[in-house]
Amino acid sequence: VTERDPQARVGKLVVVGVGLIGGSFALALRSRNAVREVVGIGRSRANLDAALKRSIVDRAATLDEPWQRELEGADVVLVATPVAQMPGLLASIAPRLEKDTVITDAGSTKRVLPRFVPGHPIAGAEQSGSAAATATLFRDRQTVLTPLPETGAAAVTRVGALWETCGARVSRMDAEQHDRILGAVSHLPHVLAYAFVGALARRSDGGALFALAGSGFRDFTRIAGSSPEMWRDIMLANRDVLLDELAQYRDMLSRYAEALQQENAALLLELLTQAAQARRALKSLAEEPGTDDA
């Protein structure tokens, strides 16, 4: 998509939730000269002021102000708030939308949304808020669109073109498939990492344990430092998928426990080798050499 593609340009963009994701989306489009005007809507005045100061947005209004008037003349509305706030916000936005306005979101679970062009950039950072936003956050990352049967094709094309302008690779699938895949590759590992750190933290020897944590521990547990509120919402929203994934994972842990109990070196090596080969085959994940502590 070049800058000449009219699908990849926006006149007025309204970003509801000017945090890491919404702010980075605006910055990425600005860096490609693909947006004329950005209006930020959010809960926190301080965060909006920071976004104004960084020129992420041109104007801003909090949810306590009559912000809905900013929907007037909007070409694209991006809702990038926590998942739990989206249904209420969308209900509040829907009646005020103009006929040609395209609306999309950036949430982690898709089936909670009744309409529009649901989108999910597979990108993020532990830091949050507009202060953490960067124009390059989505570069070479996946963005998944999950259009509904009633979603207009033109709107899907337009939202896809905007994400491509941000540098993302765009794929489409249905919402159920999205939630199943993300449940497996993102929501489950978050449960596993939180559970691991939580189990150590409640032990009386936790301090001694953490003192010997190395780089393997650091990377394995990094996602356990993410926002508990955000992950509570995501986990509950995708609860059925997650419980199923968790059951499959616990079966695999049982196989490891059995191999250890039986001192079955051959089975253990087979299990480890299968996993290591699969992990090493993921070339796209190998760009950053990691370290490992045995």
Question: What residues between 86 and 115 interact with a copy of itself by CB under 8 A?
Answer: 108
Site string for a copy of itself, 245-274 (x = CB under 8 A): -xxxxxxxx-xxx--xx-x-x--xx-xxxx
Residue 274 Cβ vs a copy of itself, minimum distance, rounded to whole Å: 5
197 binds a copy of itself (CB under 8 A): yes
Residue 172 Cβ vs a copy of itself, minimum distance, rounded to whole Å: 12
Stretch that binds a copy of itself, among 93-101, 111-119, 150-158, 220-228 (CB under 8 A): 220-228
**Which residue number, 101 or 143, has a Cβ lying nearer to a copy of itself?**
143
208 binds a copy of itself (CB under 8 A): yes
257: Cβ–Cβ under 8 A, 6 or more apart, which residues? none
Query: How many residues bind a copy of itself, per CB under 8 A?
Result: 101
Polymer length in residues for the chain: 294
The label of the residue with tokens 């910055």 reads 27
DSSP 185: I
Query: According to the 3-state scheme, what is the secondary structure of 9-50?
Result: CEEEEEEECCCHHHHHHHHHHHHCCCEEEEEEEECCHHHHHH
Map the footprint of a copy of itself across residues 151-170, applying CB under 8 A.
Answer: none
Residue 122 Cβ vs a copy of itself, minimum distance, rounded to whole Å: 4
Q: Sheet with 169-172: list strands edge to edge.
A: 119-121, 142-145, 169-172
* Type of residue found at 113: L
Per CB under 8 A, the list member of 55, 86, 124, 162 interacting with a copy of itself is 124
The label of the residue with tokens 């199923």 reads 244
**Which residue number, 154 or 265, has a Cβ lying nearer to a copy of itself?**
265
Map the footprint of a copy of itself across residues 133-152, applying CB under 8 A.
Answer: 141-142, 144
131 binds a copy of itself (CB under 8 A): no
* Type of residue found at 126: E
Map the footprint of a copy of itself across residues 274-293, applying CB under 8 A.
Answer: 274-280, 282, 285, 288-293
